[in-house]
Structure 1
Amino acid sequence: MNKGRLLIIFTRNPIPGKVKTRLAAAIGDNKALEIYETLRGHTALITKSVNAKKELFFSDFIPTEDLLLTKESVARRQQGSDLGDRMHHALRSGFATGARRIVLIGTDCHELSTEIIEEAFSALDHAETVIGPAKDGGFYLIGMKKAIPELFLEREWSNPDVLQDSVDILLRLNISFKQLRELSDIDTLEDLKNSSLWSPCP
């Protein structure tokens, strides 16, 4: 039915003070957690009907209940020393269990939709990789048909050159890729103010 498709969702365990720390510095831990839970709820909604197996990778522990967990999804714990290492481990384990096309997303993008995720899987019919560029210079989605360690290991993350560096790596390795439309993650107060989630107090 899902033709070897796997959707990997990276999420942090929703704990006050441990999520959206840059946003929390401006609006407080509890409000930042509220925003993060809204983002996770949006992710749950848009991924529900995606035609793929689903695996959730939690940052700290596997919960018994979570708004992203369904009867069909599998819960795992992220493993690795940094974000790249954790993503590479998740992708590699997905391919090891038989997936042929994997798309990985986070839970920070309120503009992401079911249609864009399906578009990413479709792009892998023609390209070896697919990237969803974020306006902050990173990416909100990455997909591939085989593990590419160079994209993830021994790299510097959380800087405005992540996307361009990723493209440069793919070009150097002569790996075909497709870029999706540019979307915004919500990591800072400015990001929040520019999003549809912003509702300033009267």
Structure 2
Amino acid sequence: MKSKNLLLIFTRNPEFGKCKSRLANKVGKQTALDIYKFLLDHTVSITEKLESTKAVYYSEEIWDNDIWNNDIYQKKLQKGEDLGVRMKNAIEDGFNTGYNKIIVIGSDMFDLNQKDLELAFEKLNSSDFVIGPAEDGGYYLLGMKTLEPSLFTNKNWGTETVLKDTLDNLKNKKTEVLDTRNDVDYYEDIKDISAFKPFLKNIKQ
């Protein structure tokens, strides 16, 4: 094992009509898929040079020949009936394999860069947990040095209560809270960001 740090990237297989459904309601399924692929490319660009082991966890099936280079990324399948169970299983697997610090992120964060990820791993030198709050009341990053099962149960995933409930679980733990960032779920999240303008030129305000 080259690194004791493990980055888990949770991703949906980019298939027509199966990703970014809330965004698709406004921009259409093809544009939502194009935007999601753009976000996946961004996630590759901010993770491929990161000095840690990296594993991509696919939602539906593992794709061998895609944007995730097999020489850089381990490829695995998410397992579990909801997001919490899937994250817990992936993190537990990482600790069982011998990693000391594990961070999980999604793959739809345009407002994130490699330095943010390096900082998050650094924060785990002096804290037991690190969390990156999202503007919508969820989180875009969660990191830890030990598995804390309560973080993955009794959450309404995809709602604005997830961050608060997770921080409640961590109130007696040494936790570092990162800067709040914007994730991409709705048209309003991207309409004023210049990088997304080419995708939105035909969308009526």
Query: Once the two structures are aligned, what percentage of the paired residues are identical?
Result: 40
SS in 2 for 1:198: helix
> 2:192 & 2:29 partners in 1: Cα distance?
20
SS in 1 for 2:195: coil
Aligned match of 1:176 in 153, 174, 177?
A: 174
Deviates more, 1:140-149 or 1:152-161: 152-161
Q: Is the 8 A contact 2:48 2:72 kept in 1?
A: no
User: What letter matches 2:184 in structure 1?
Assistant: I
User: What letter matches 1:42 in structure 2?
Assistant: H
User: What letter matches 1:100 in structure 2?
Assistant: N
Distance 1:89-1:196 versus aligned 2 partners, 3 A rule: farther
User: What letter matches 2:52 in structure 1?
Assistant: A
> 2:189 & 2:31 partners in 1: Cα distance?
15
* Structure 2 alignment gaps of length 5 or more: none
TM-score (norm 1): 0.95
In the other structure, the counterpart of 2:123 is 123
Q: Is the 8 A contact 1:56 1:69 kept in 2?
A: no
> 1:3 & 1:122 partners in 2: Cα distance?
14
Q: Is the 8 A contact 2:3 2:53 kept in 1?
A: no
In the other structure, the counterpart of 2:158 is 158
In the other structure, the counterpart of 1:35 is 35
Matches within 5 A, 1:13-162: 13-162=13-162
* Cα deviation, residue 22, structure 1: 0.4
SS in 2 for 1:197: helix
* Structure 1 alignment gaps of length 5 or more: none
In the other structure, the counterpart of 2:188 is 190
Q: Is the 8 A contact 2:155 2:165 kept in 1?
A: no
Q: What's the C-alpha RMSD, in Å, of the aligned pairs?
A: 1.3
SS in 1 for 2:196: coil
> 2:134 & 2:2 partners in 1: Cα distance?
27
SS in 1 for 2:170: helix
User: What letter matches 1:188 in structure 2?
Assistant: Y
Q: Is the 8 A contact 1:41 1:68 kept in 2?
A: no
* Cα deviation, residue 198, structure 1: 2.9
* Cα deviation, residue 105, structure 1: 0.6
> 1:196 & 1:181 partners in 2: Cα distance?
22
> 2:47 & 2:159 partners in 1: Cα distance?
27
TM-score (norm 2): 0.94
> 2:163 & 2:154 partners in 1: Cα distance?
15
- Count of aligned pairs between the two proteins: 200
> 1:64 & 1:73 partners in 2: Cα distance?
11
